[in-house]
Amino acid sequence: MNRAYNQTWIRNRDILQQADRWHRQGLLTDAQQATVQATYPVGFLQTNSFLEIGLFLFTTVVILAVYLLVLPFASAIENDRLVYGLVNAGFGVAVGVVGAVLINKRKLYRNGVDNSFVVLATGFVAFGLNQFIPEGISLSTHCLLTLPLLLLVFWYYGDTLIALLAVLTFYALIYDLTLHTDTGRGLLPYTLMLASLALYGVSTWLLRLEKTTYYLDGLHLGQWMGLSMVLVSSNYYVVRELNGVLADSVRQLDDLQNQPLRAPGTLALPGLFWVLTFSLPLFYLWLGTTRRDRMLLILGLTGLTGAFATLHSYWHLVPTNAALTLGGFILIGLAVLGIRHLRTPANGFTDAPDDDSNDITGPVPTVLAALQTSQTMPPTDQPGIRFGGGKLGGGGAGESY
C-alpha cells in the first residue's frame, strides 16, 4: 500500500549509506561507489541534522502563527465543544493536506519541515476529536480515542515523534486504567512490566517483518522504551516511593476518598523488588554480551547504576559526595580498561567507531549485486578483497569475507 514517502528511494538510500561506509573503509573504489550511486538513485531533498532542527522549529512557529489568526474565531465558539472541535480538527486536516503536497512536490523526507507538519496536524486533529467527548470523562477514554489515530499516522508516515507520542499515550492509558481500583493499584508495577514486555515484543516482531528502514527509528524507540520501563517499573525506589505519591494524587483528583489507598512508602513483596532491582540489569548485561546488543548493554549499565543509587538511598554506607566520587572513578577506570582492551577486537566487541569497524550490516547482498552485475565495474586491485565470495548471514560476514 502507498505511504507518504517513496519506499524505493528509502531502500536506495540505505544501500548508498552502506556503500559509503565501505568506501570510507577502503573496500570500494571511487568507480565502484559511482556505480552503486548510478544504479540506486535517491530523489529526496538532502539536509543535515542541524538544518533539520532549525527547519522543524521554523515551520512549527509558522503553523502556530497561522493558527493564531484562526484562534479569535475559534474562541468565539469555544463554549460549543462540537463546533470548537470541528474547527481544530479541520485546521489539522488542512495542515496535513499542505504537508502532503509539500512532501510530494519538494521531495521531502524527514528534513524538519515534513516532521513539523505531521506532528502539528496530528495534534490539532487529536485535540479536535477529544472535544467531542463530554467533559469529566477519564483520561483513559481520551487515550483510547487518540491512540488509534497516532498509530494510523505512524503507519502512514513512520515518524519517530509520532511513535514517541503513541508510546506515551499507551503508558498513560495503562496507568490510568489501573489506578481506579484497589486491585489495579496493587498490580500497577506488574501491569507496567507486562505492558512494557509486550511493547518490546511487538516492536521486535515488527522489525523482523519490516524489509526497509521506513519504521526503523520508531520501532527501535518502542524497544528502548519497553525495556527501559521494565527496569523503571521493577526498581524498588520507584515502586515504593513514587507510586505511592502518584496514586495518592490520583485518588484526590478522582474524589476516591472512600477507597483507602496503601500509605505511600509501604510495599507488598519488598524482597521481590529488591531482587528485580539488581537481577534485571545483570540479565540485560548478560544478554547484551551474548547477543552483542548495544541497547541491552547500555540499559543494563544504566539499570545497575540505578540499582546502586537505590541501595544508597536506603543504606548510607558512605556520604553521598563520596559515593558519587567513588562511582565516577570506578566508571572512568572501567571505561579506560575497556578502551585499551578493545583496541584489538575481542569476542565480537571493538572500540572502533561504527564506520571503522569490520561489522558488515545493512543491505549487503544488494550492494554486492549492484557491483557484480555492473558491466562497468573495474576490477579492484586491493589484496584480500573479493566481492561475492563471502558467506553472508544475518547481520555479519563470514570468515571468508
* pLDDT tens digits, one per residue of 283-308: 999 999 998 889 999 999 999 999 99
> In sequence order, which residues have a C-beta less than 8 Å from that of residue 102 and are 6 or more positions away?
108, 113, 114, 117
- Exposed, middle or buried: residue 266 (CB in 10 Å: 0-12, 13-18, 19+)? exposed
**Grid cell digits, residue 223:** 524497544
Quick check: 116 and 60 in contact, CB under 8 A?
yes
Region 5-34 average pLDDT:
87
Least confident of 71-85, 168-182, 194-208: 71-85
pLDDT tier at 279, thresholds 50, 70, 90: very high
245 pLDDT above the threshold of 90: no
User: What is the number of helices (H) and of strands (E) in the chain?
Assistant: 16, 2
Considering the entire predicted model, what is its pTM?
A: 0.82
CA atoms within 13 A on the CB side of 162: 27
How far, in Å, CA of 232 to CA of 199, rounded?
15
Higher pLDDT, 73 or 15: 15
Least confident of 7-21, 70-84, 87-101, 250-264: 250-264
- Give the other-Cβ count within 10 Å of 262's Cβ: 15
Average pLDDT of the chain to the nearest whole number: 82
Tens of pLDDT, residue by residue over 165-191, are 999 999 999 988 887 776 777 788 899
How far, in Å, CA of 354 to CA of 356, rounded?
5
**Grid cell digits, residue 206:** 515488527
How far, in Å, CA of 12 to CA of 26, rounded?
21
Region 265-290 average pLDDT:
87
Q: Which residues pair with 393 in a beta bridge?
A: 396
User: What per-residue confidence (pLDDT) applies to 373?
Assistant: 61
3-state secondary structure of 112: coil
Higher pLDDT, 71 or 384: 71
User: What per-residue confidence (pLDDT) applies to 121?
Assistant: 97
Higher pLDDT, 154 or 399: 154
User: What per-residue confidence (pLDDT) applies to 25?
Assistant: 81
pLDDT tier at 377, thresholds 50, 70, 90: very low
How far, in Å, CA of 97 to CA of 100, rounded?
5
How far, in Å, CA of 171 to CA of 42, rounded?
37
User: What per-residue confidence (pLDDT) applies to 393?
Assistant: 38
